[in-house]
Structure 1
Amino acid sequence: MQLAVVLVCPARAENVGAAARAMKTMGFHDLRIVDSDAHLQDGARRVAHGSGDILDNVKAYATLADALVDVQFTIATTARSRAKFHYYATPAELVPLLQEKRAWIGSAALVFGREDSGLTNEELALADILTGVPMAADYPSLNLGQAVMVFCYQLASLMQQVPQQVTPVDANQLHALRLRARELLEKLCVADDIKMADWLDQRLGLLEQRDTAMLHRLLHDIEKKLSE
């Protein structure tokens, strides 16, 4: 599985340099920057310390949606108090989840938000699953470089495994299921039930390949019955 690190609107060049250093140390190479030129500033290069190749190969995008066009599974980091979503996976819980998904999903992205305000709800809605670092209540945040290091360290073991062949059909199962489920809610005239729609979106990211395939079959049967 190819795993990209995406930084949304980073304001401080030093934070980008620290993120690049953390990635290089743990074996990650694909850094994507949304709506910022911080990686081009001297501070990023100064802090990167031997990770200049990561900065040299940064892919820049105007929006998060653009940065995720070729990504099949998206993990967004957020503070629990800022998110309207409720399902969280800790960094440790991401390891078995991605271990299962690497057999049928070829690319993933780990998204980090703005230093001061994180990701918007609209940006969080692009994710398949949310994650956060459990912290003491009286010190509720990490800086961007620290957060990237925590996740890169936790997921480094996945990068050391031999990549598996993933067929396009398998890789698109989850995305197709998400679209199919939303269309079914529209047909049933319950798409305006935001609580149900959000719950469904959040839970689909947890499904294993067999469960995803079975739910596709169920939705197919429901669609067939509705069309009779």
Structure 2
Amino acid sequence: MNKLDQLCIVMVETSHPGNIGSAARAMKTMGIHDLRLVKPTRFNSPETRALASGADDILEQAKLLDSLPTALTDCHYIIGSSARSERSLPWPQMTARTCGLRVNERLPEQKVAIVFGRERSGLSNEELEHCHALVHIPMAFDFFSLNIAAAVQIICYECMMASHSAPNQHEHPTPTLNEPLATAEAMENFFQHLETTMIEVRYLDPANPRLLMRRMRRLFGRITPTQSEVNILRGMLSAFQGRKFQHRSP
């Protein structure tokens, strides 16, 4: 298996069809084939095909999806692309080169997604909550951001170069586990269960949640638990819920 077959590029609500075509071409030149499009404004247009320039197979195989969580259901590690280096709640952040190295450490055992946001506004804070880390490409002279297709090209290049490089003895690769990591879908179910439980035990006030759930997502994103570990955590939450209702019984 080609390691890069386990890497997917996700584009969220892309408005310009030419950017989709250019991104597909960027992926094809770097040996990456899994393109996922979340609610693009226009997709199958002559401009898309023209700018794909030989990457028609990437476009034909692209998955059209109605939400970001749906696009990430089978993924284990998710990196969001962000033009902003400062946010209300700091998130683990890396350069494009480090991104390539981190992706390479996880392939092919894990499915990895790199998510790119809208041309004008990027990814929302709510969408970034689905990511384990952010990748930021700094600009010269404080220029705001790259064209999205150019950003896809840079990130795909770094991932391809990292996949072809010999392991560095000074690097600390992600340990290979004998059990699968929890998928994004499993983690979303866990976070919903966690939020419900915290509300029921009155630890989380839904009228004034602050950034508690965002911090919990960041915490578990750093851990990247396995599926069996998530099952244990959800079993604990169910036990807490059961004990709460037992105390309420007459």
Pairwise same-fold verdict (TM > 0.5)? yes
1:10 aligned residue = 14
1:190 aligned residue = 203
TM-score norm. by structure 1 comes to 0.77
Segment of structure 1 superposing worse, 198-207 or 143-152: 198-207
TM-score norm. by structure 2 comes to 0.71
CA 1:138–1:225: 2 relative to 1, 3 Å: closer
> Residue deviations 1:67-91, cap 9 Å, x none?
1122222211122268444222222
Q: Does 1:71 align with 2:87?
A: no
CA contact (8 A) 1:84 1:121 kept: no
1:172 aligned residue = 182
Task: Name the aligned partner's letter for residue 54 of structure 1.
Answer: I
CA 1:159–1:61: 2 relative to 1, 3 Å: farther
Task: Name the aligned partner's letter for residue 108 of structure 1.
Answer: V
SS in 1 for 2:223: coil
Task: Name the aligned partner's letter for residue 102 of structure 2.
Answer: L
State the shift of 1:184 in Å: 7.0
CA contact (8 A) 1:95 1:154 kept: yes
| Identical counterparts, % of pairs | 29
Which has the larger Rg? 2
Partners of 2:94 and 2:204 lie apart in 1 by 26
Partners of 1:215 and 1:63 lie apart in 2 by 23
CA 1:196–1:96: 2 relative to 1, 3 Å: farther
CA contact (8 A) 2:99 2:155 kept: no
Task: Name the aligned partner's letter for residue 155 of structure 2.
Answer: F
CA contact (8 A) 2:21 2:49 kept: yes
After TM superposition, list the pairs within 5 Å mapping 1:30-179 onto structure 2: 30-36=34-40, 38-80=42-84, 83-87=87-91, 88-102=93-107, 106-136=110-140, 138-157=142-161, 159-160=163-164, 169-172=179-182, 175-176=186-187, 179=191
State the shift of 1:181 in Å: 6.2
SS in 2 for 1:33: strand
CA contact (8 A) 2:82 2:135 kept: yes
Partners of 2:183 and 2:52 lie apart in 1 by 38
Q: RMSD of the TM alignment (CA)?
A: 3.6
